C-alpha cells in the first residue's frame, strides 16, 4: 500500500527514498495477486507475480484477468467499512467493460447496467467496470453521483425545487443545454454527465423505460399519496473509483438495493433534502409547536413505513434497518470465522432511525483502510470540467460544490468527511446467493 509516513531519518536507519509510481503499483499488485491466489486456493502466486512485474516494467501498469477483476470488485465491497449490507459481497455481478472509454458508449452501458440491475424489481447487486487509468492515459469519469438523480433547481429568491443535493450538477447540466422539466418538477430525472479524459463533460438522457420508480403511499393514511413523493428503485453510485492491486478504475458504477431509512429518514426527512417531516406531521394532526411532542420522530416512523410499504407493494426489493443490522452482525461473525478482520465505521453502520433498537448500535468496531476498495474521487480540477458552454457562461458551477455534488451516501452517514466513502448494502437475493454463501463457509 502506498505509505504516507515520513521517511525515518534517524542516524541508524537507512535513508528511505520515496518509491516511484511503478514501484507502488508493483507493491500493491503483489499484495493483491497474493490475496487472490490465497483466497481462491490457486496455489503459488509466483508465476503470475512475475508476469505482472514484467508488464508493469514495460507499461507502468497491468491488466487484470477477468477473474482477478471480479474478485477485486467483490473484495472492494467487502472492505467498504461504511456499508451495512456486506453479507452478500460475494454475490456482486461484475460487468467487464474495460475496453470502453468513449462517453457515448459509457452512457449506453450505464443504461444496460440499470436495466439488468433493476431486473423488474428483483434488484441485482452489480458493478460495471470501465477503462482503467493508465500511466499515459487517464480513464473516463462519470460526473453524476448516481446514474439516476433528481434535479435540484435553485429558486431566485432562495430555496430549491427538487433535490437540494443535486443543485450543482443540475446547474452544470443546464449549462450544457439540458432544458430541465417544464415546469421544473420535484422529481425530474437528470441526464447522465460523463467525461472522457481530457474532453469536455457530455450529457446523456437516460431512456425512461430504463428507470423504475416507486410512488410512495402509506398503508393506513390515504392522504399520504397526495404528497406526490416518489423514489427510484436502484441506487447506482457512479462517482467513486475502484482501486484494485494498484490499478485505478475511475468509472465503475455499482449498486445494491436500498435500505428503507436511506430514503425515508435521509432523502425525504433531512432538513437539507426533501424536508418532509413538518408536512407529514401536520397531516397527522400533530402539534409542531415544540420538539418535545416528538412530532419529528412520529413523522419519521410513518415516512419510513410508507417507503417500505410502497416498495413492497410495487414488488421492488428493499431492506429495513432491523433486518439489515442483524445480517451485518452475521457478516462480522462469518468474516471472523474466515480469519479476516472486518473494517467497520460505526457512524455509518448504525441506522439513522431507531438506532439503539438495532444490535449494531451496542458495540464497538475497528476501522481501517484496506484495498481493494472504493474511494471518492478528489475534486475535479476547474479546467477539467470546462465545456464550451460553461466557459462562456458567467455563472460557472461552483466546483467546490461539484466536488461533493451529492452525499448520495448521506442516508447512512450521520457524519461525513474523509475521502473514504465506501457504501453498498444488500439484502438476501435469489437462492443462488445463499448457495454461494454456504460455499464460502465451507
Ligand atoms: N444513500 C444513498 C441514497 O439514498 C444511496 C447509497 C447506496 N445505497 C445502497 N443501498 N446501495 O440514494
Tens digits of per-residue pLDDT, 28-46?
A: 999 999 999 999 999 999 9
Of residues 409 and 257, more confidence is placed in 257
For residue 162, give the nearest of 275, 239, 261 by alpha carbon. 275
Domains, the chain, in order of start with CATH, read: 63-210+238-257+326-353+370-441 (3.90.440.10)
- β-partners of residue 373 are 243
Q: Which of 82, 83, 97, 231 is catalytic?
A: 83
Tens digits of per-residue pLDDT, 211-243?
A: 999 999 999 999 999 999 999 999 999 999 999
Residue 385: band (very low, low, confident or very high) from pLDDT cuts 50, 70, 90 = low
The burial of 239, by beta-carbon neighbours within 10 Å (0-12 exposed, 13-18 middle, 19 or more buried), is given as: buried
What is the pLDDT averaged over residues 368-374? Answer: 98
What is the pLDDT averaged over residues 151-179? Answer: 98
Q: What is the pLDDT of residue 409?
A: 32
Q: What is the pLDDT of residue 383?
A: 53
> Per the structure block, which three cell numbers stand in for 347?
457512524
Tens digits of per-residue pLDDT, 41-91?
A: 999 999 999 999 999 999 999 999 999 999 999 999 999 999 999 999 999
63 is catalytic: no
Cβ–Cβ < 8 Å for 346, 355: no
Q: Which of 257, 266, 327, 376 is catalytic?
A: 257
What's the mean pLDDT when you consider all of the chain? 87
Q: Which of 74, 86, 174, 327 is catalytic?
A: 86
83 is catalytic: yes
User: Is the pLDDT at 6 greater than 70, yes or no?
Assistant: no
Instruction: Strand 236-237: give its sheet, edge to edge.
Output: 93-96, 126-129, 254-255, 236-237
- Give the C-alpha separation, 62 to 33, whole Å: 12
257 is catalytic: yes
The packing angle between helices 21-39 and 46-59, to 10°, is 160
What is the pLDDT averaged over residues 350-371? Answer: 98
53 is catalytic: no
Q: What is the pLDDT of residue 50?
A: 98
User: Is the pLDDT at 391 greater than 50, yes or no?
Assistant: no
Percentage of residues in the chain with pLDDT exceeding 70?
A: 81
Interstrand relation of 126-129 and 93-96 (parallel, antiparallel or unpaired): parallel
Residue 98: band (very low, low, confident or very high) from pLDDT cuts 50, 70, 90 = very high
Question: Which of 114, 125, 258, when mutated, tests ligand 1's pocket best, judged by the most ligand atoms within 8 Å of its CB?
Answer: 258
Q: What is the pLDDT of residue 3?
A: 34
Q: What is the pLDDT of residue 401?
A: 33
Q: What angle do CA 175, 181, 186 make, to 5 degrees?
A: 110
Amino acid at each position: 500500500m502506498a505509505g504516507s509516513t515520513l521517511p525515518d531519518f534517524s542516524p541508524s536507519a537507512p535513508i528511505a527514498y520515496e518509491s516511484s509510481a511503478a514501484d507502488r503499483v508493483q507493491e500493491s499488485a503483489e499484495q493483491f495477486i497474493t490475496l487472490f491466489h490465497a483466497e481462491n486456493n490457486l496455489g503459488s502466486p509466483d508465476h503470475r507475480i512475475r508476469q505482472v512485474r514484467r508488464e508493469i516494467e514495460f507499461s507502468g501498469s497491468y491488466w487484470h484477468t477477468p477473474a482477478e477483476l471480479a474478485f477485486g470488485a467483490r473484495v472492494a465491497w467487502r472492505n467498504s467499512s461504511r456499508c451495512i449490507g456486506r453479507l452478500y459481497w460475494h454475490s456482486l455481478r461484475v460487468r467487464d467493460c474495460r475496453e470502453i472509454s468513449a462517453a457515448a458508449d459509457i452512457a449506453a452501458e450505464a443504461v444496460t447496467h440499470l436495466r439488468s440491475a433493476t431486473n423488474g424489481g428483483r434488484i441485482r447487486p452489480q458493478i460495471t467496470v470501465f477503462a482503467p487509468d493508465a500511466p499515459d492515459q487517464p480513464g473516463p469519469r462519470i460526473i453524476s453521483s448516481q446514474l439516476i438523480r433528481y434535479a435540484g433547481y435553485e429558486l431566485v429568491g432562495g430555496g430549491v425545487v427538487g433535490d437540494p443535493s443535486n443543485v450543482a450538477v443540475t446547474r452544470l447540466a443546464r449549462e450544457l443545454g439540458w432544458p430541465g422539466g417544464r415546469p421544473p418538477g420535484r422529481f425530474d430525472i437528470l441526464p447522465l454527465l460523463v467525461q472522457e479524459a481530457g474532453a469536455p463533460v457530455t450529457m446523456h438522457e437516460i431512456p425512461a423505460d430504463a428507470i423504475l420508480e416507486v410512488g410512495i403511499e402509506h398503508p393506513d393514511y390515504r392522504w399520504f399519496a397526495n404528497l406526490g413523493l416518489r423514489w427510484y428503485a436502484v441506487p447506482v453510485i457512479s462517482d467513486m473509483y475502484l482501486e484494485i492491486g494498484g490499478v485505478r478504475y475511475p468509472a465503475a458504477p455499482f449498486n445494491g438495493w436500498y435500505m428503507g431509512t436511506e430514503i425515508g429518514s435521509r432523502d425525504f426527512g433531512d432538513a437539507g433534502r426533501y424536508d418532509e417531516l413538518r408536512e407529514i406531521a401536520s397531516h397527522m394532526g400533530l402539534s409542531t409547536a415544540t420538539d418535545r411532542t416528538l412530532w419529528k420522530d412520529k413523522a419519521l416512523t410513518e415516512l419510513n413505513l410508507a417507503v417500505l410499504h410502497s416498495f413492497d407493494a410495487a414488488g421492488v426489493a428493499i431492506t429495513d434497518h432491523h433486518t439489515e443490522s442483524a445480517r451485518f452482525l452475521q457478516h462480522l461473525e462469518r468474516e471472523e470465522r474466515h480469519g479476516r478482520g472486518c473494517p467497520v465505521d460505526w457512524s455509518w453502520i448504525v441506522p439513522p432511525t431507531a438506532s439503539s433498537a438495532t444490535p449494531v448500535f451496542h458495540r464497538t468496531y475497528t476501522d481501517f483502510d484496506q484495498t481493494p476498495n472504493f474511494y471518492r474521487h478528489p475534486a475535479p480540477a476547474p479546467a477539467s470540467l470546462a465545456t464550451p458552454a460553461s466557459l462562456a457562461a458567467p455563472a460557472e458551477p461552483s466546483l467546490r460544490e461539484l466536488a461533493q455534488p451529492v452525499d448520495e451516501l448521506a442516508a447512512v452517514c450521520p457524519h461525513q468527511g474523509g475521502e473514504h466513502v465506501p457504501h453498498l448494502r444488500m439484502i438476501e437475493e435469489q437462492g443462488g446467493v445463499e448457495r454461494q454463501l454456504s460455499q464460502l463457509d465451507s
